[in-house]
Amino acid sequence: MLDVSHTTVSRALNDSPLISPATKKKIVETAKMLNYVPNYSARSLVQNKSYNVGLIFSTIGGSTSPDFFYETISGVTLAMEPGYNLVVNGVDSHTELDWVDSKRFDGIVLVSQTDKDDAFIFYAMDRGIPLVVLNRNVAVDNLVNILSADRIGAYNAVEHLIERGHREIALIGGVPGFQATTERREGYFSALSDSGIPIRGDLMADGDFTMESGFSAMTKLLSVGVSPSAVFCLNDEMAIGAMKAIVNAGYRVPEDFSVVGFDDSKFSSYVTPSLTTVRRSIAEVGRVGTSSLMSILNGNQVDAEKIFIATRFIARESVRAVG
């Protein structure tokens, strides 16, 4: 039909610079007219590529909330180029790392929550697999690291409570060892210290980022007789659990206890009262990281850098002024 070789057609459909623009235009138009669909399996064999991108979480268990999971995948898929497949897995789903190889993955987006992932990072890098790390500040110089400014976000949330007269502010923490827990807790500590408010261990209870743990932690705080006027929860799911525990104990939000969460999950504006929280764009972290990975896979030089995505405080109905 076009009187060109198979090689010329293949090069044109893969946007090769070896084919003239006029010939390339004719081939692409003809392919569209014939409803041509590329055979990605054959292309993978010829180009020695899998066309798989790994989206690997520290864990895909209970401590990775459904909303976090959904937002991350939304951002990643937004930046993925056509023809690539997304393969989702968890580091803790395997006892060994031999499933991580360059024949299985062209590149990897690692959503890291703990320094236990460092072994995975070095394993992938040693095998020459392009890698970007999201969500955790890693002590590795030669890779792209995208994360949200959680410490500043937590500081702003607690500062908001202090500005409204709260002095006894409880903390419901997250999974020990997760960087989200550490960074947000440090923001809480800094805001209290900068205002001259003592840090009290009896106003702290551990959770694991689930609603159930927020409920249990708040129930514990209420049962030991402490009387905070406000509670800062390190994510929205725990905040919802804490609000349920407060209501079950016969109290009201915010009349008796003000509650602040973190993440601005989709449900936070629909609960009653609507939840005051900190918005961090998980999807944007995923999008920026994946864009960098796509650029690397396209053969571009991408500088190793740390990029912090800003958070934003969202004031709603679950906080009241006191004093």
CB 129 within 8 A of CB 188: no
Q: Does one domain contain both 160 and 261?
A: yes
User: Is the pLDDT score of 285 beyond 60?
Assistant: yes
Say yes or no: 190 and 255 in one domain.
yes
Same domain, yes or no: 192 and 275: yes
Instruction: Say if 322 falls within a structural domain.
Output: no
What confidence score (pLDDT) does residue 45 get?
A: 45
Nearest-angstrom CA–CA distance, 179 and 201 = 20
Pair of tokens at residue 274:
């609507």
Residue 218 belongs to some domain of the structure: yes
Asked, for residue 43, whether it belongs to a domain, the answer is: no
Same domain, 13 and 52: no
211 and 94 share one domain: no
Inter-residue contact 183 to 150 (CB < 8 Å): yes
Report DSSP letters for 6-70, one per residue: HHHHHHHHTT-TTS-HHHHHHHHHHHHHTT----HHHHHHHHT---EEEEEES--STTS-HHHHH
Question: Does the pLDDT of residue 11 top 80, yes or no?
Answer: no
In a domain, 80, yes or no: yes
Residue with tokens 């571009």: 300
Structural domain tally of the chain?
3
Mean pLDDT of the chain: 90
Helix, strand, or coil (residue 161): helix
The reply to whether 143 and 29 lie within a common domain is no
Are 270 and 163 in a shared domain?
A: yes
The answer on pLDDT for 258 being more than 70 is: yes
Cα separation, 120 vs 87, in Å, equals 16
Q: What is the CATH number of the domain that holds 297?
A: 3.40.50.2300
Cis amide linkage into residue 254, ω under 30° from 0: yes
- Got the DSSP string for 90-123? EGGG-SSSTT--TTT-SEEEEE--BGGGHHHHHH
Give 32-49 pLDDT, tens digit per residue: 776 766 655 545 444 568
**Dihedral-angle region of residue 196 (phi above 0 means left; psi in -120 to 50 means alpha; beta otherwise):** left
Residues 142 and 157 in one domain: no
User: Range of 21's domain?
Assistant: 6-37
Does a structural domain hold residue 317?
Answer: no
Residues 104 and 216 in one domain: no
Whether 13 maps to a domain, the answer reads yes
Mind listing the pLDDT tens digit for each residue in 107-160? Answer: 999 999 889 999 999 999 999 999 999 999 998 888 999 999 999 999 999 999
Is residue 232 domain-shared with residue 269, that is, in the same domain? yes
Q: What is the DSSP letter of 249?
A: T
Round to whole Å and give the CA distance between 176 and 321.
Answer: 31
